[in-house]
Structures are given as structure tokens and as C-alpha cells.
Amino acid sequence: MMERSYTETLQWRHLRYVRWTDDQDDIPRGTVSWEGRLLFGYPRIGRILNLRVGLSEQFGDAFWVEEKVDGFNVRIARLGPDIVAFTRGGFLCPFTTDRLPDLMPMDIFAKMPDLVICAEVAGPESPYAEASPPYVQEDVGLFVFDMMRLGQPGFLPQQQVYELADAYGLPMVERLGRWHASDSEHIAGMLARLDAEGKEGAVFKAVDASRRIKYTTAHASLEDIGVAAPQLNDFSADYYIQRILRLALFLDEQGKKVDAALERQLGAAFLEGLEASIEQLRAHGRVFHRYRCRFRTERAAREMMDHLVRLSGKRVNVRIHGLECDGGYWRLSFERQPAVMTGLLSHLLKGGELFD
């Protein structure tokens, strides 16, 4: 039998690094190593779908509550002279790495060279995500929510994260305070407010750092569905069903009887995206979504183009539309074409048959 491989070796400029493509014992997928150093992958976080019972089931003692931001997860670390950002999957992200000086002060790494900052990058000009938080009106923002140390799998205590963020002026996710499970009525009210503000949800972190859990709003479930529906069959069918269940349990939690407006939002999340894709296919022969993002340097923009094309494969085709220097930034525009949806819709609109 062939030895199973858990890693691949990649190169970015002068840096040669290894990323874990799969979990291997205690080393999670997305872990990165270079020159004998190890940057642990960001762990998967469990989710509860009922707050009032869930918080007391999950937490015996106090926990911090923070906004959960809808973007993409990066881990930022110092590598010799460079400060670089890795995606959740363990790829060096040319986009985030290039933009870091715009997104956060970096002097903290001079003082703490083995620090790892975990942050969400979110906004309408994200090269990965299509949803965007309401308070990022253009470009992207960066929101710190955790810190780790190189070579260590766990997180720094949250109190220390807050102190460091304050001391170094790091942009953070919204901090919602320190609470107990007995405050669940109040917390349910906070979630109702986050939902009304179009935010994704909250993360709960035990003060003793022993565990963390997440919970998402109706808004997040609806937005996730609406963003994916134009590429319906390129997402796993479970993706949608999980979100519909979350939505039903959020409404139950909030004591909302299902109402016409919300039913309509759920139906619209599916049907409007599909209608748009059918029209795209008729007009252009393909389904696609356009992205724009901006870079400080042409070199990084070209690295990102290579990165996108390398990630492009059987499932998603990437087509670069252009790269222009404008207003001090290199602006890249490209599209992703979901391959399954393009193929399926084109078969069906040609009158092809399906067996199911």
C-alpha cells in the first residue's frame, strides 16, 4: 500500500512551506510549516442551534461573546523579514499578505515575533467570499478575533487578546462582553439585534479557554443560501439543508412564529439566484460571478491571478477580466464559473433528460 500523504510543499517568492491538506492525528488540515516552525491550523468550531439550552449545556462558567464576521479566515504570522497571511486551508494568500499594511498596524510582530493573529477578512472586494458584512461598504476590512503562538495549537486567553489589541490598536470583531449561561435571555436579545443589523452571529469562548462554540442568525442562513443558489449544484445539497434547519431553530428560539415575510425571503434566496443563472446561461452560455479586489503591488496581483488559476479546476473555472492601476491600487477583476451548474443548466435548457 502506498503511504498516505497529508502534506504538499508550496513556494511563495523565496519561501518554501508545507501545508497539511488533511487532518493528521493532532495536526489539523491547514497547518503550515517552514524551516522547522509550525503554524497550527485553525480548529473547527462546533455550533449550537439553540441558545438558551445550548449555552448552559456547553458552558459551566463565564464566557466571552464576540460578533462572528462573515468573511474568510486568515492566520497572520511573521516569517523572517515578512509578515504573511495564510488561508484556512494553509495557502499563503497573496491578496491578504499584500494588503496587510492597509488593514492593521503591524508593529506588534516586532515585539512578539512568534505571535499568530487570527482574523476575518471581509468586504465587497474580497476575492473569496460573496457575502459581506453591512459595515464594510467598500474594499475589505480585517477583524481580529483570536491569537495563537507559532508551534502551539491553542489560543491565547481572550483577556490577553483584548489587551494586546487595545495596546497595538488592532481592529477587532465587536466585543459583546463577558456573560454566563444564566444570561441567556439577554444573549438571545443580542442575537436578535445582530440579526436585525444583518450580521452573521456570535462566537462564545470560555473564559478559561477550555471551549468555544458558535451560533448564527437568520440573516446569515438566508444570505448563505442566496449567495450559493446561483451556483445551486456546485454546493453540496447539505449546505442548504443545514441552513434551513438553522433558520427554523433561530425563529423558534426567538419566539417568532413563521411569518409571510420570512417565508418569502427564504423562497427568494433560492429562486432569484436561480432565475439570474438561467438568464446568464441563455445570454452568455455560462454561469458566472464577478469579483473585484485591489492590490498595493502589481507583483501580488499577478501572484493572486496564479493562485486563483491554480485553485481553479474541474469544479470552478476562473477567468481573469483585467488588471489595471487606478487610484494608487492595482485593481483585479475576474469571474468564477461554477462548472457543475453551468453544465447542468446547459444540458437542461437544451432539453436533456435527467434520471433521479
Give phi and psi for 117, each to the nearest 5: -105, 125
Residue 60 lies near its own copies (rule: CB under 8 A): no
Helix (H) or strand (E) holding 301: helix 298-311
Q: In the complex with its own copies, which residue's Cβ is closer, 62 or 262?
A: 262
| Binding of residue 346 to its own copies (CB under 8 A) | no
Closer to its own copies at the Cβ: 196 or 258? 258
Q: Mention every residue, 6+ apart, whose C-beta is less than 8 A from residue 296.
A: 98, 99, 101, 102, 329, 330
Q: Which position among 38, 49, 192, 323 is part of the footprint of its own copies (CB under 8 A)?
A: 49
Contact window for its own copies (CB under 8 A) among 19-27, 64-72, 141-149, 239-247 = 239-247
**3-state SS class at 75:** strand
- Footprint of its own copies on 199-218 (CB under 8 A): 213
- The least CB distance from residue 298 to its own copies, in Å, is 39
Q: Which stretch binds its own copies (CB under 8 A): 3-11, 134-142, 154-162, 246-254?
A: 246-254
User: How far is the C-alpha of 253 from the C-alpha of 217, rounded, in Å?
Assistant: 11
* Per-residue cell: 238: 447539505
Which of 6-14, 55-63, 136-144, 303-311 is the region at the interface with its own copies (rule: CB under 8 A)? Answer: 55-63
Beta carbon of residue 23, minimum distance to its own copies (angstroms, whole number)? 12
Q: What is the rounded CA–CA span in Å between residue 47 and residue 60? A: 17
Q: Per rule CB under 8 A, is residue 245 in the interface with its own copies? A: yes
C-alpha closest to that of 214 among 228, 227, 199: 199
Residue placing its CB nearer to its own copies in the complex, 102 or 252: 252
**Cα four-point dihedral sign 147, 149, 150, 152:** negative
Interacting residue with its own copies among 38, 106, 248, 323 (CB under 8 A)? 248
> 282: which residues sit within 8 A by CB, 6+ positions away?
349
Judge whether 229 and 269 are in contact, CB under 8 Å: yes
Q: Which is nearer to its own copies, 37 or 44 (CB)?
A: 44
Pick from 13, 37, 264, 321: which binds its own copies (CB under 8 A)?
Answer: 264
- Of 192, 207, 274, 316, the one binding its own copies (CB under 8 A) is 274
Q: Which strands sit side by side in the sheet containing 175-179, from one edge to the other?
A: 175-179, 63-68, 201-206, 212-216
Residues at the interface with its own copies (CB under 8 A): 44, 46-50, 52-58, 213, 232-233, 236-238, 240-242, 244-245, 247-249, 251-252, 257-258, 260, 262-268, 270-272, 274-275, 278, 344, 348-356
